[in-house]
Structure formats: structure tokens, C-alpha cells
């Protein structure tokens, strides 16, 4: 077996370890940390290059080396040579398929820095993983095969990294050994990339010709490419400025993670400083409330601090008793961030299920969690060309620009600062979470707030909703019946309306028949359309309740998120969710309209209960078990509850 050159790089360090371990360890405590991402495909020699970096910096032990030699013989792709790629490809499934399928994190260190490498795959279907790896990186290492040059993939990776806010790139031209270390081959690739980088606005990059196999220009300059006069890769990584260090120069931001209240005398606000610096006595503003106060102490287990800076996890106490809890942001009083509830953002879709415009997702930004809906995308981005394409939704790995609305204001900053500095990751990056599966379905970067909510003033009405209600002598309400098809919603709602009318109440019943044929006749039965259907019904119910009516609605409304959306539209206490609980087997047995039979036969796609989920209410105001109550008894029970509601 041909052994690679023994690692020379760490020789000095190893001398120090052997002769003066205390001095060595003292040096360890003052290292910096650089995080970078590697982009390239299996064929670009990426794993070989990373394996080489680990080897050169002595992160590989003899037993691993022995295992590697054995593996190289058995499944390696380098003939009798050591296949460094085997060090890096982790999961068994990957080794069998010979591909990398996820983000893997690698670690190595030199005497100056510790490095965390996000190793991500190159195939298009794994854009998600690349964006994930890039989200925490200071720098991107782009690999280009010297034989193939700049490919579409190289351009895509560059654009993705730039999109996530990485400013610095290293173009590593790999496999130089396979082009006889030819300078012309290298120069042509560099010229090619320069033209592309200029077009898309990547201005901070350098190109280095390397060979993972021979080690040239990886850890040291090597002999094979004397024509190259730049730094070796490792030298560059050791000296390039660290982007996240610039966060300190920005205004102070501390997203509150957790409120510490061990006893009645201590109330501390714990969190990681997102940017800037703070000292006791500094004036701060609590957002979104806007209350002003001063920092009293910065408390740590090792004693109070005189100052805390970006990146540190601290606990601060405030001079005044102000309201402040998880999700709030403590910020520099003179330069606070804004709060808003409508934004434009870049959204990277990461789930197999496409985005559903109008549906409510959990949005997590910093320590804030709210419900957000995303509008139809303004456009989708072609990540190979930056071209803007029309799109109705976003599929897995699609990147688009869309407007989103949150159910309450959130404190934020534009992801890309206007001064071109490092991105505001902590208050500008967010994830979307599916409310049913709890999967992380998207990542996003806020551009700016849309001031629409402030500009469009609602028409002030002289005759208020209170006046409408008083004229009718009743308390408006929305009785929202939900349940499976055939559960008995319409039947019961009809009976309730009759009884209320008999009691002299002004009511209106909205159900599928009088809505689907008019207001919503443009809507079908896809998930998106069903959500829009419910949204419109909610808005109509709200207007009718404003007019003083008791509104009854009878829709399957299968998704919890949409029912919650309607609940939020209606004044507090006036939304009464009535869960008509009929087990699927029972509803299917009744099958009054013959719909279940059709659905089972595959004639009705997206049928609730069959191939589309029904999310039962967790805390409905009224729970009607139709296996115990007749429709008449159920209606009676609901009317009694309404009379009670009116007396409250």
C-alpha cells in the first residue's frame, strides 16, 4: 500500500507537546474558532481533501489509519492508495451507496485556530443540507475539479452561499495532479470564475490549486506548483478574518431565552448576546413593549462581568421592574430594532410537502415563536442563474421570495445589513415548522417589513358593532361546527338555528351549500383551496358577527391551524368551537351522501379521514359525542350553552 507523505505540519506542535505540555495547553485556551462549509460533489475530491486536512493536522490516529487502510483495500476507489474519502463518509447507507447524504461536521485544529467544517453534499436535491451547513459558516470552500472547471453546480453553490450571507469564498481547484499541475488549466478556471463572481456580486474570494491526493498546497506549499505564489489552503484558513467577530461592532441585542427567578429577590434575563456589547449602567429598551430601563448587573457563576459582548451567553438583571419574558429582545436604547407583522422574505423550502400559501405555520425567529402565513411567492429563484421565475408555491429545495404575515408583531432585523457587513443571523433568520407534524419545513431570511398594516386604515364605522348588537338585543357569536364528513354538523346546526330563531335570536347559518356555490365557487378541494375556503368563511362570519348576528358555520374544517386562524379573527370569547365527534367508522357506516364509498374507490382525492388528515380540536368550547347524543339532544345542549354564554 502506498502511504501518503507523513504529516509534517504539526511537527513543531508535537515537539512542544512532548517538551512543555503546560505551555502547549496554555496556547490552546487562546485559539480562535473558524467555521466553514465545503461545497462540491462526490467527484470533486471533496472528501479526499477533507480527509487530507484531518490527516495533515493529525486528527487521525493509528487505529483509524489501520481501519482506513483495510477499508481502502476492500471498498476504496483509489486502487492501492489510501482512500481518504472513507474517513469522512459516515453512515453505513452512505458508504454502500458511495454518496454523502447529509450534513456532517468535522473538527480539526492547528496551533492558531480550531475549525468546524460543515461537510455537505453537492447534488441538487440536497440544497436543504447546503443551506443548513452554510447558515453557521464564516467562509465557503468551493471545490472545482481541475479537469472539469466551473460547472453549473459551482455556480449554484456560490449563489446559495451568498444568499445565506457568506461573504468569503475559497475556490479550491482540486485534482491538480490529474492535469499535471498545469498552470494554464488553473488560470482558465480562475478567469471563468472571476467573470461569474463579478456578475453575481461575489467579491471576496481567492483561488488555490490543490491536490488532496499528493497534499500539494493543502497544508504546505509543496513542490509541484512553483508557479503558484499564493498561500496554501491551511495557511489561508488560519489567517482569514472571522466574519462573526464583526457582530461586536453592531448595536446591542439580547434575545431573552429564559427568565431566571430562583427566589423573589432575583429576576435575571438569560440569553446569548446576538450583537454589540453591554455594560452595567447602559440604557436599554425592552422590545416589543419599548419600555426603557438600565442594565443593573451581568451575572455569571464566576462573578459579575463588567461587560458582555456578542456571542456570550449571559444573565442580566435590570434596574427597574419591567415586563420582560422569553421572546422579548433587550436592545441598545438609542438604536433599537423594529417590530412588525408583515414582511418580505427569501424562503428556502425544505419539506417533501410543498408550501401551502395561506396556511398557518409556526415561525421561530430568535427566541420568538408566532403563527405565520406565507402568501403565494412573488417569484422563485433559479439558483443556477439568479433568474426570477413565476411560481404558485415552493417545492422541496425551491427558493423563492414571498410575503409573510405573523399573528403578532415580532422584533426583527433585515438579514442582510445595509452596510454590507456580516448577516444578522440571530434576528433576521427564521424557520417555519409544520403545526401537524412539527417538522422544520422551511428556512427564511427577512428582507424588510411591509408597512401596509399601518398605511391602510380601516374604515372607521359610525355605527359600531356594539350598536348593531344592542339594536338586536343579543350578544353576537360564531358557533363553529367542525367534524368529519357525515358527522352530523349540518343537521345539528340546523336544529340549533331553529331553536334560536324560536327564542327570538337573529342568526345565520353558513354551510357548504350556500358558500361553495357562490362566494367560493372558484375553489376546489386541494389543501390550499380548502384553507382559502375556511379563511373566506371566517371573514364572512366575522362581518356577520360585527353586524350583531349569531353565526353558525358547518364545515369539516379539518386543520387545527385554520380553525385557530378564524378564532384569532373573532373578538375574544365570541368564537365557540363545537366539535361534532363521530368516529370515522361510524361516519363511514352512515355515509349519507355516499361520499366515503367514492373516496374509498379513489374517486374523491383528498377526502378527510381517508387520505387527508382530520385534526380533532384539543380544547373545543363544546364537545358533542354523537354516539351518545341524538341530534335533538345535541342541539338542546348547545342552545343551553349559548343562553349561558349570553348571561356571562
Partner 1 sequence: MSGLTHLDRLEAESIHIMRETVAEAARPVMLYSIGKDSAVMLHLARKAFYPAPLPFPLLHVDTTWKFQDMYRLRDKVGAEEGIELIVYKNPEAEAKGINPFDHGPLHTDLWKTEGLRQALDMYGFDAAFGGARRDEEKSRAKERIFSFRTASHRWDPKRQRPELWSLYNVRKNPGESMRVFPLSNWTELDIWTYILRERIEIVPLYLAARRPVVERDGLLIMVDDDRFQLKDGEQVQTRSVRFRTLGCYPLSGAIESDADTIEQVVQEMLLATTSERQGRIIDRDAGEGSMEKKKQEGYF
474 touches partner 1 (CB under 8 A)? no
Q: Which of 41, 72, 129, 553 binds partner 1 (CB under 8 A)?
A: 129
514 touches partner 1 (CB under 8 A)? no
Q: Report the site for partner 1 in 43-72 (rule: CB under 8 A).
A: 61-64
Cα torsion angle, 381, 382, 387, 393, sign: negative
Yes or no: say if 314 and 296 are a contact pair by the CB < 8 Å rule.
no
Min dist. Cβ of residue 3 to partner 1 (A): 15
Q: DSSP states of 516-562 as a string?
A: HTTTTTT--SSHHHHHHHHHHHHHHHHHHHHTT-EEEEE-----HHH
310 touches partner 1 (CB under 8 A)? yes
28 touches partner 1 (CB under 8 A)? yes
17 touches partner 1 (CB under 8 A)? yes
Site string for partner 1, 349-388 (x = CB under 8 A): -x-----------x-xxxx---------------------
DSSP letter at 399?
A: E
Min dist. Cβ of residue 95 to partner 1 (A): 8
Q: Which of 46, 128, 236, 542 binds partner 1 (CB under 8 A)?
A: 128
623 touches partner 1 (CB under 8 A)? no
Query: Closer CB to partner 1, residue 285 or residue 364?
Result: 364
Biggest alpha carbon distance in the chain?
98
Min dist. Cβ of residue 478 to partner 1 (A): 28
Min dist. Cβ of residue 327 to partner 1 (A): 9
Q: Report the site for partner 1 in 266-305 (rule: CB under 8 A).
A: 266, 268, 270-272, 299-302
Yes or no: say if 636 and 492 are a contact pair by the CB < 8 Å rule.
no
* CB atoms closer than 10 angstroms to residue 478: 25
Return d(Cα 315, Cα 135) in angstroms, integer: 26
Instruction: Label residues 46-75 b or e (16+ Cβ within 10 Å = b).
Output: bbbbbbbbbbbbbbbeeeeeeebbebbeee
The helix (H) or strand (E) run that includes residue 368 is strand 368-374
Q: Is 42 helix (H, G, I), strand (E, B) or coil?
A: helix
Q: Which of 46, 52, 106, 506 binds partner 1 (CB under 8 A)?
A: 106
* Residues tagged active-site: 557
261 touches partner 1 (CB under 8 A)? yes
Yes or no: say if 32 and 130 are a contact pair by the CB < 8 Å rule.
no
91 touches partner 1 (CB under 8 A)? yes
Query: Closer CB to partner 1, residue 18 or residue 456?
Result: 18
- Residue 444 corresponds to which cell in the numbers above? 427564511
111 touches partner 1 (CB under 8 A)? no
242 touches partner 1 (CB under 8 A)? yes
The helix (H) or strand (E) run that includes residue 293 is strand 291-299
- How many residues bind to partner 1 according to rule CB under 8 A? 80
Min dist. Cβ of residue 367 to partner 1 (A): 7
511 touches partner 1 (CB under 8 A)? no
Min dist. Cβ of residue 389 to partner 1 (A): 23
Q: Report the site for partner 1 in 418-437 (rule: CB under 8 A).
A: 425-426, 429-431, 433
Return d(Cα 413, Cα 429) in angstroms, integer: 9
Distant-in-sequence, close-in-space partners of 444: CB < 8 Å, separation ≥ 6: 345, 346, 347, 348, 404, 429, 430, 431, 432
616 touches partner 1 (CB under 8 A)? no
Amino acid at each position: 500500500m502506498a502511504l501518503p507523505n507523513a504529516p509534517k505540519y504539526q511537527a513543531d506542535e508535537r515537539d512542544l507537546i512532548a517538551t512543555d505540555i503546560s505551555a502547549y495547553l496554555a496556547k490552546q485556551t487562546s485559539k480562535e474558532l473558524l467555521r466553514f462549509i465545503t461545497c462540491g460533489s462526490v467527484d470533486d475530491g471533496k472528501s479526499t481533501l477533507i480527509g487530507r486536512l484531518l490527516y495533515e493536522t493529525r486528527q487521525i490516529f493509528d487505529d483509524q489509519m489501520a481501519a482506513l487502510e483495510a477499508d481502502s483495500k476492500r471498498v476504496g476507489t483509489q486502487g492501492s492508495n489510501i482512500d481518504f474519502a472513507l474517513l469522512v463518509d459516515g453512515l453505513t447507507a452512505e458508504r454502500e451507496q458511495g454518496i454523502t447524504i447529509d450534513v456532517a461536521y468535522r473538527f480539526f485544529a492547528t496551533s492558531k485556530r480550531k475549525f468546524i467544517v460543515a461537510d455537505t453534499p453537492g447534488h441538487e436535491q440536497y440544497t436543504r443540507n447546503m443551506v443548513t451547513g452554510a447558515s453557521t459558516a464564516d467562509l465557503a470552500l468551493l471545490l472545482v475539479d481541475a479537469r472539469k472547471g466551473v460547472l453549473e453546480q459551482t455556480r449554484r453553490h456560490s449563489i446559495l452561499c451568498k444568499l445565506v450571507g457568506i461573504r468569503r469564498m475559497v475556490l479550491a481547484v482540486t485534482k491538480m495532479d490529474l492535469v499535471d499541475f498545469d498552470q494554464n488549466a488553473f488560470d482558465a478556471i480562475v478567469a471563468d470564475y472571476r467573470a461569474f463572481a463579478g456578475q453575481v456580486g461575489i467579491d471576496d474570494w481567492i483561488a488555490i490549486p490543490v491536490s488532496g491526493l499528493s497534499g500539494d498546497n493543502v497544508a504546505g506549499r509543496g513542490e509541484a506548483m512553483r508557479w503558484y505564489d499564493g498561500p496554501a489552503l491551511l495557511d489561508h484558513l488560519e489567517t482569514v478574518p472571522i466574519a462573526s467577530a464583526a457582530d461586536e461592532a453592531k448595536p446591542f441585542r439580547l434575545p431573552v431565552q429564559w427568565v431566571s427567578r430562583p427566589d423573589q429577590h432575583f429576576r435575571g434575563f438569560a440569553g446569548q448576546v446576538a450583537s454589540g456589547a453591554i455594560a452595567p449602567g447602559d440604557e436599554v429598551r425592552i422590545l416589543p413593549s419599548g419600555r426603557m430601563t438600565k442594565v443593573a448587573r451581568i451575572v455569571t457563576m464566576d462573578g459579575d462581568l463588567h461587560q458582555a459582548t456578542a456571542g456570550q451567553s449571559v444573565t442580566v438583571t435590570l434596574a427597574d421592574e419591567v415586563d420582560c419574558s422569553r421572546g422579548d429582545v433587550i436592545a441598545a436604547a438609542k438604536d433599537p430594532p423594529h417590530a412588525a407583522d408583515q414582511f418580505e422574505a427569501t424562503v428556502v423550502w425544505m419539506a417533501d410537502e410543498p408550501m401551502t400559501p395561506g396556511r398557518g405555520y409556526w415561525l421561530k425567529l430568535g427566541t420568538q415563536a408566532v403563527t405565520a402565513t406565507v402568501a403565494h411567492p412573488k417569484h422563485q429563484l433559479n439558483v443556477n442563474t439568479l433568474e426570477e421565475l413565476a411560481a404558485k408555491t415552493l417545492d422541496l429545495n425551491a427558493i423563492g421570495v414571498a410575503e409573510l404575515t405573523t399573528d403578532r408583531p415580532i422584533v426583527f432585523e433585515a438579514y442582510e445589513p445595509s452596510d454590507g457587513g456580516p448577516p444578522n443571523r440571530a434576528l433576521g433568520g427564521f424557520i417555519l415548522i409544520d403545526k401537524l407534524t412539527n417538522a422544520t419545513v422551511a428556512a427564511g431570511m427577512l428582507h424588510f417589513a411591509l408597512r401596509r398594516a399601518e398605511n391602510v386604515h380601516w374604515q372607521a364605522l359610525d355605527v359600531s358593532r356594539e350598536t348593531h348588537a344592542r339594536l338586536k338585543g343579543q350578544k353576537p357569536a360564531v358557533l363553529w361546527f367542525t367534524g368529519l364528513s357525515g358527522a352530523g354538523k349540518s343537521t345539528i346546526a340546523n336544529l340549533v338555528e331553529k331553536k334560536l330563531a324560536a327564542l327570538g335570536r337573529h342568526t345565520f347559518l353558513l354551510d357548504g351549500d350556500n358558500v361553495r356555490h357562490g362566494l367560493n365557487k372558484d375553489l376546489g378541494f386541494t389543501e390550499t383551496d380548502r384553507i382559502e375556503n375556511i379563511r373566506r368563511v371566517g371573514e364572512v362570519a366575522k362581518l356577520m358577527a360585527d353586524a350583531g348576528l349569531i353565526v353558525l358555520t358547518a364545515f369539516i374544517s379539518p386543520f387545527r391551524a385554520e380553525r385557530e386562524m378564524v378564532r384569532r379573527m373573532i373578538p375574544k370569547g365570541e368564537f365557540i368551537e363545537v366539535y361534532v365527534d363521530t368516529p370515522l367508522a361510524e361516519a363511514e357506516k352512515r355515509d349519507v351522501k355516499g361520499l366515503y364509498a367514492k373516496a374509498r374507490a379513489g374517486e374523491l382525492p383528498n377526502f378527510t379521514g381517508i387520505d387527508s388528515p382530520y385534526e380533532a380540536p384539543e380544547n373545543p368550547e363544546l364537545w358533542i359525542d354523537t354516539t351518545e347524543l341524538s341530534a335533538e339532544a345535541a342541539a338542546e345542549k348547545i342552545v343551553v350553552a349559548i343562553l349561558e354564554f349570553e348571561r356571562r
